[in-house]
Structure 1
Amino acid sequence: MTQGQVIDERLQLDNVRNFRWRSDQDYDISWERRDYDLRHLQSVDLLTSYWGMPAIAHILVSFGFEDGRQLVFTVETRKEKGETYSMLGGFFKEYELSIVAADELDAVRVRTNVRDEDIYLYRIDMPQPVMRELLLTYVKQANTLVERPRFYNTLTANCTTIVFDMAQSIIGGLPVDQRLLLTGYLPGYVHDVGGLQKGYSLGELRNRGRITERAKQADDAPDFSLRIRQGVPVG
C-alpha cells in the first residue's frame, strides 16, 4: 500500500505502482519509491473511466509536475488473492479500501489498452496551493489506511466520495449532489461548481478530453502522458 512523507519540500512515496500490463492475469510487477518536488507541482487532472453504463465510472486524479511526470491516485478495493469485485459486495463490507499511487502508464494504460475502457480527461482549474493540499491529503489518507484499515463501500466510501470529502475539507462549501454517487456524471458536477477550464462547454471539454484512442496509439511510449493530452484544454 502507498505511503508517503514530506521532507523539506520533497514528497517521498513508497509503493508507487508501475506495472506493465499485458492482461489482467499477465503483468510485470513493479513497486517503486519516488520523489517529487512539491514546488514544481503544476496541474491536477480528473479522469473518468467507463466500462458499461454511462452513469457509472471509475475516478482517477492525476497530479502533474514541471518535469513532465504524472502521479495518479486511484481509490480501489483491496482484494484478497482469488477475490473478484462485485458492486453488490461493495455494499456489505466485503472489501478493504485502498488508495493507490501509480504511474499513468500503469493506471491509465491498463484501462484503455488492456480492459477496453473509455477514458476522458479534464484539467481542473485549481490554484497551486490547493493542488498541493489535495495531493498531501491523498498521502495523509493513504498513510491512515496503512495504520487503520477501513472498508470500501459502494455508496459512502468509493472513488468519488473519498475525493469529494478531501476537496470539501480543503475548499469547503461544495454542494452535495446525486452526481457524487452517479460517478459517470461527475464532470458535469465539477463543471457546474466552476472547477473545469473556463470558456468551454461541458460537451466541448468531454469531446476534446476523450483520450482512449490516443492512449491506444501511444501504447507504452515514454511520452505517453504528453501524447494523451494532445488537444485537451489545459488553460
Structure 2
Amino acid sequence: MIMRKRRSRHTRHWKLTAITLLFAVYACAALYYSTLEPDLLRLGATGLCGLLFVATSCIRQPIRRIAALCGLCACFAIWFCTNLPSNNREWAGEYAVLADAIQDGRTVHVRNIRDFTYKTETDYTPHYYNADFDLDHLATIDLITSYWAGDSIAHVFLSFGFDDGRHLAVSIETRRQKKFSYSTIAGFFHHYELTYVTADERDLIGVRTDIRKERVYLYRLELSAQTREAVFKNYLTEIHKLTTTPRWYNTLMDNCTTEILARANARTRYRLDWRVLLSGYTASLAYDLGLLNTHYDFATLHELSRIKRPANAVPDANYSNEIRESLPLALANK
C-alpha cells in the first residue's frame, strides 16, 4: 500500500512537471516571437518567463506548485488576450499598403490593387491602382496553388475573373514587419497580422512563376454564379473589415487555406480535413468535393494544370492569357 502511494505521488509529480515544461516552452516561444518593443523588453520578458517556470518546477509541495503554475498561466493569459494586432507598424514593402473594397449596389470599388514590376524577388518597382468591378460580370474563380519545397505545403489563393478579360487575384498572407524575416514557427504565435493582398495576376502569380521559379498550378473552380458572387462578396467584406479591425495570422487556425474555406462558408468538417493543414493537398480536397474539372482523374488534372513558362519569361500585360493557354480546354473555356 505504501509503495503504491509513493508510486502514485511519483506519477503525479512527473505529470505536473511535464505540464509545467510544455506550458513554459509555449509561453517563452509566444513572448520571443511577439511584437513587444523594444527588442530588449521582448528578450527580457522571455528570459524572465523561463526563470519563473524553473522556479515553479522547484517547488516541492504539489499544492503550492499548482497554485504557482495557475498564477503564471493567468498572467500569461491576460497578456496574450490583451496583446492586440495592429495596422500601424513598419511593414515590409510588399505589405506596406493595405487593400480596401467597398460595394455600391452591383459595383465594387477596390482600392490599392498591387501591380509590382519585379526584377528579382526583392528588387521591384511598387505600383498600385484602383478599379471598379461589376458583380454581374463575375465569370470565374480560379484556385492557385504554389509550391516552393516538396509537395505537402503550398500557398493557396484565388483569382476572380470577369467577362471583360480582367482578373483580380486575392492572396491571404502574413503581413510581415520590415524588421522580420519570414518564419514558419513564428506563424503559430502573435507575430504576423493577417492580410488580404489584392493584385494583378502578373504580380501575384507572376512573381511565383517567373521570379521565384516555384511550381504553380491553376484550377478552375466549378461553381454556380450565385456561389461565385457569394464567395467574392465575403472576400470583399473581410478586406474592408481588416482596414479597421486587424487580425492575427495563425498557421493552424487562421491561414491562407482555412480563410478560403471560411469565406466560402465551408462546413466545419471540411475545415478540419488533414489536407487543409497540409495545404499542398488542398486541390485534392477541392476535387473530392466536386469543385474541379472531373473529366480527368485528379493526378492527370494536377499535371495538366501546372502553369508552364519559358525559362526567361517575364510577366507582361498579356500574362493572364498566356498562363491559361496550356491548361485543359475544359478548364480554360468554361
What's the TM-score once normalised by structure 1's chain length?
0.94
The one-letter amino acid paired with 1:228 is I
Q: Are 1:218 and 1:227, in contact at CA under 8 Å, matched by a contact in 2?
A: no
Alignment of 1:110-149 (within 5 A): 110-149=207-246
Q: In the alignment, what sits opposite 1:179? A: 275
Alignment of 1:1-235 (within 5 A): 1-168=98-265, 172=267, 175=270, 176-213=272-309, 219-233=314-328, 234=331, 235=334
Runs of 4+ in 1 over 6 A off after TM superposition: none
The one-letter amino acid paired with 2:103 is V
1:69 to partner: Cα distance: 0.8
**What is the alpha-carbon distance in structure 2 between the residues aligned to residue 138 and residue 190 of structure 1?**
18
Q: Are 2:210 and 2:313, in contact at CA under 8 Å, matched by a contact in 1?
A: no
1:174 to partner: Cα distance: 5.9
The one-letter amino acid paired with 1:46 is L
Which residues of structure 2 form unaligned runs of 5+?
Answer: 1-97
> When the two structures are aligned, how many residues end up with a matched partner?
232
The structure with the greater share of residues assigned to helix is: 2
Q: Which has the larger radius of gyration?
A: 2
SS at match of 2:249: coil
**What is the alpha-carbon distance in structure 2 between the residues aligned to residue 124 and residue 6 of structure 1?**
24
Q: Are 2:210 and 2:309, in contact at CA under 8 Å, matched by a contact in 1?
A: no
Shifted more, 198-207 versus 94-103: the winner is: 198-207
**What is the alpha-carbon distance in structure 2 between the residues aligned to residue 55 and residue 212 of structure 1?**
21
Q: Are 1:112 and 1:119, in contact at CA under 8 Å, matched by a contact in 2?
A: yes
The one-letter amino acid paired with 1:205 is L
The structure with higher relative contact order (CA 8 Å, sep 6+) is 1
SS at match of 1:203: helix
1:212 to partner: Cα distance: 3.8
Change (3 A) 1:212 1:60: farther
Change (3 A) 1:186 1:141: same
Q: Are 2:101 and 2:110, in contact at CA under 8 Å, matched by a contact in 1?
A: yes
| C-alpha RMSD of the superposition | 1.5
**What is the alpha-carbon distance in structure 1 between the residues aligned to residue 232 and residue 269 of structure 2?**
18
The CA deviation string for residues 6-55 of structure 1, in whole angstroms up to 9 with x for no partner, is: 12211110111111111122111111111111111110100000000210
The structure with the greater share of residues assigned to strand is: 1
**What is the alpha-carbon distance in structure 2 between the residues aligned to residue 130 and residue 187 of structure 1?**
18
The CA deviation string for residues 132-164 of structure 1, in whole angstroms up to 9 with x for no partner, is: 111111111111111111111111111000001
1:218 to partner: Cα distance: 5.2
Q: Are 1:205 and 1:232, in contact at CA under 8 Å, matched by a contact in 2?
A: no
**What is the alpha-carbon distance in structure 1 between the residues aligned to residue 115 and residue 316 of structure 2?**
14
Change (3 A) 1:213 1:220: closer
What's the TM-score once normalised by structure 2's chain length?
0.67
**What is the alpha-carbon distance in structure 1 between the residues aligned to residue 185 and residue 269 of structure 2?**
28
**What is the alpha-carbon distance in structure 2 between the residues aligned to residue 64 and residue 217 of structure 1?**
26
SS at match of 1:119: strand
Q: Are 1:9 and 1:37, in contact at CA under 8 Å, matched by a contact in 2?
A: yes
1:180 to partner: Cα distance: 0.6
**What is the alpha-carbon distance in structure 2 between the residues aligned to residue 101 and residue 226 of structure 1?**
19
SS at match of 2:136: helix
1:200 to partner: Cα distance: 1.4
